[in-house]
Amino acid sequence: GAVVSQHPSRVICKSGTSVKIECRSLDFQATTMFWYRQFPKQSLMLMATSNEGSKATYEQGVEKDKFLINHASLTLSTLTVTSAHPEDSSFYICSAREPGQADEQYFGPGTRLTVT
Amino acid sequence: AQTVTQSQPEMSVQEAETVTLSCTYDTSESNYYLFWYKQPPSRQMILVIRQEAYKQQNATENRFSVNFQKAAKSFSLKISDSQLGDTAMYFCAFRRPGTYKYIFGTGTRLKVLA
């Protein structure tokens, strides 16, 4: 099946700094990618939908200026957490939709962000 | 708005036994998709099974099957012949046609005991 990778798998950053997380579709072109956040022992919450070549669509309550999303190519979307604070510590998961495979998304392995 | 409820935070089952995980949802749509995803300790989300609401036949994938009750808005997952590798968090999810937004339940942590 289709493979989605994320980098890094774990990152620790200091409060006030920014951190970038990459999501790549390895063997298919993804016109749409999705970013989720998962708190410990909780479900996945959709943060935003990233469309190649256009602005991301953010879910209600998600700060677009804090969570910058760029989908510059058909195989790469990035999530930048700007001016990170300890409350941004979480597990971030991306998924990608393969064109033509209308009802299936492939998930990346996730990135654990810890802000100290 | 659609909601997905998983009322069993944790469950355990003996190896080789059968276990059923519950999921209910709320929607006014007549057509939609339902999914069960598995998240093992590695945290990689894996699609277990998918059901299209307009199909009356319950989906089956090897040891995994669902009991889809559309009128009751229930979508339970049955795992037969449980294996140690089935230990994971299981999420039920809902998706409307024409959108790619998943609504996930809160998950059920399943532990298979040797």
Interchain contact, A93 vs B43, CB within 8 Å: yes
Q: How many CB pairs under 8 A join A and B?
A: 44
| Whether B25 contacts chain A with CB within 8 A | no
Interchain contact, A95 vs B44, CB within 8 Å: no
CA atoms within 13 A on the CB side of A71: 23
Using CB atoms within 10 Å of the CB of residue B100, give its burial: 0 to 12 exposed, 13 to 18 middle, 19+ buried. Answer: middle
Q: Best of B7, B31, B38, B100 to disrupt the A interface by mutation (most A CBs within 10 Å)?
A: B100
User: Which one of A43, A97, A103 has the shortest CB-CB distance to B33?
Assistant: A103
Average pLDDT, chain A: 91
Average pLDDT, chain B: 94
Burial B72-84 (b: 16+ CB within 10 A, else e): ebebbbbbeebee
* Beta-carbon contacts of residue B57 (< 8 Å; ≥ 6 apart): none
Q: Are A112 and A11 in contact (CB under 8 A)?
A: yes
Per residue in A8-18, pLDDT (tens digit) is 999 999 999 99
pLDDT, residue A82, reads 97
User: Which one of A34, A43, A91 has the shortest CB-CB distance to B43?
Assistant: A91
Burial B5-27 (b: 16+ CB within 10 A, else e): ebebeeeebeeeeebebbbbbeb
**In this model, does residue B24 exceed pLDDT 60?**
yes
Amino acid identity, position B57:
Q
pLDDT, residue A51, reads 87
Distance, CA of A64 to CA of A66 (rounded, Å):
5
Q: Are A96 and B45 in contact (CB under 8 A)?
A: no
Per residue in B35-68, pLDDT (tens digit) is 999 999 888 889 999 999 998 899 999 999 999 9
Per residue in A65-109, pLDDT (tens digit) is 999 999 989 999 999 999 999 999 999 999 998 877 656 789 999
pLDDT, residue B19, reads 98
Range with lowest mean pLDDT among A96-100, A110-114, B74-78, B91-95: A96-100
Among A85, A98, A100, A105, residue whose Cα is nearest residue A19: A85
Q: Best of B33, B34, B45, B46 to disrupt the A interface by mutation (most A CBs within 10 Å)?
A: B45
